[in-house]
Amino acid sequence: GAVVSQHPSRVICKSGTSVKIECRSLDFQATTMFWYRQFPKQSLMLMATSNEGSKATYEQGVEKDKFLINHASLTLSTLTVTSAHPEDSSFYICSARDPGGGIQETQYFGPGTRLLVL
Amino acid sequence: AQTVTQSQPEMSVQEAETVTLSCTYDTSESDYYLFWYKQPPSRQMILVIRQEAYKQQNATENRFSVNFQKAAKSFSLKISDSQLGDAAMYFCAGGVDSNYQLIWGAGTKLIIKP
């Protein structure tokens, strides 16, 4: 149980275009999902917390107009990188909290999306 | 404020031996939760083991066990009978009830020598 999928796994786009990344909880309903960014050989950096049916909460320094998050259902959250630039190239990971899965703070992770902006 | 510290950037162990990865978690909260996650080269984060701070008994999952010393704020991970597939980055993380966010350590790269 507690499987999270993420799509696409890899995307290459031109500078100035927008890219949407989907995160789905496959076998549980996730009221809360998280979006992280991970630079090479570094730890996870939390970008935002996404709650179903409400606006996402962004961490300090993360531009909410650039990284649009939508959590329209209990199984789907999307991250859209708008007007992407080369400095947005990174590994983006989503996670979901399973409220019915024992320790509620446990996060289950998607496989990540590697974004390369040319 | 919460902090998670992993002071070992890299550890290596001979296959079949035992290795211990260190982590300290500092928080003013009395009730919190601690986790160890593994990130292999595929970069998929995998939950290894978790511990509730109020529980006296240390968590175990097959070859993985923790040594949780609450007063010392220590939460170490012991891997017994190390296998080649254990090679990965290991991240320690902690969280409290209020917002479900996790605070992450910097990670320890574990190398398994055949």
Closest by alpha carbon to B53, among B19, B86, B94, B16?
B94
* Cβ within 8 Å of residue B76, ≥6 positions away: B20, B21, B22, B23, B66, B67
Residues of A in contact with B52 (CB under 8 A): 103
| Closest-CA distance of chain A to residue B107, Å | 6
Between A1-5, A73-77, A104-108, the lowest mean confidence (pLDDT) is in A104-108
Q: Give me the total of CB pairs closer than 8 Å, taking one residue from chain A and one from chain B.
A: 50
From the list A43, A97, A112, the residue facing B106 with the nearest CB is A43
CB B45 within 8 A of CB A110: no
Q: E strands of chain B, at which residues?
A: 3-5, 10-14, 19-21, 24-26, 32-39, 46-52, 60-61, 64-69, 74-79, 88-96, 102-104, 108-113
Hey, are the CB atoms on B106 and A105 less than 8 Å from each other? Answer: no
- pLDDT score of B114 more than 70: yes
Whole-angstrom distance, CA of residue B52 vs CA of residue B1:
19
A103 pLDDT higher than 80? no
For residue B21, give the nearest of B49, B55, B57 by alpha carbon.
B49
- Among A107, A113, A115, the strongest candidate for a mutation testing the B interface, having the largest count of B CBs within 10 A, is A107
Q: With 70 as the cut, is the pLDDT of residue A102 above it?
A: no
Residue A8 to residues A5, A12, A50, A55, A109, Cα–Cα distance (Å): 9, 10, 19, 23, 14
Give the residue from chain B lying closest to A43, CA to CA.
Answer: B106
Q: Is the pLDDT of residue A2 over 90?
A: no
Tens digits of residue pLDDT in B53-97: 888 899 999 999 999 999 999 999 999 999 999 999 999 999 887
Pairing of strands A10-13, A90-97: unpaired
pLDDT tens for residues A27-48?
Answer: 888 889 999 999 988 999 999 9
pLDDT 10s digits, B9-56: 999 999 999 999 999 999 988 888 999 999 999 999 999 999 998 888
pLDDT number for residue A104: 66
Stretch 63-92 of chain A: residues touching chain B, C-beta under 8 Å: 91
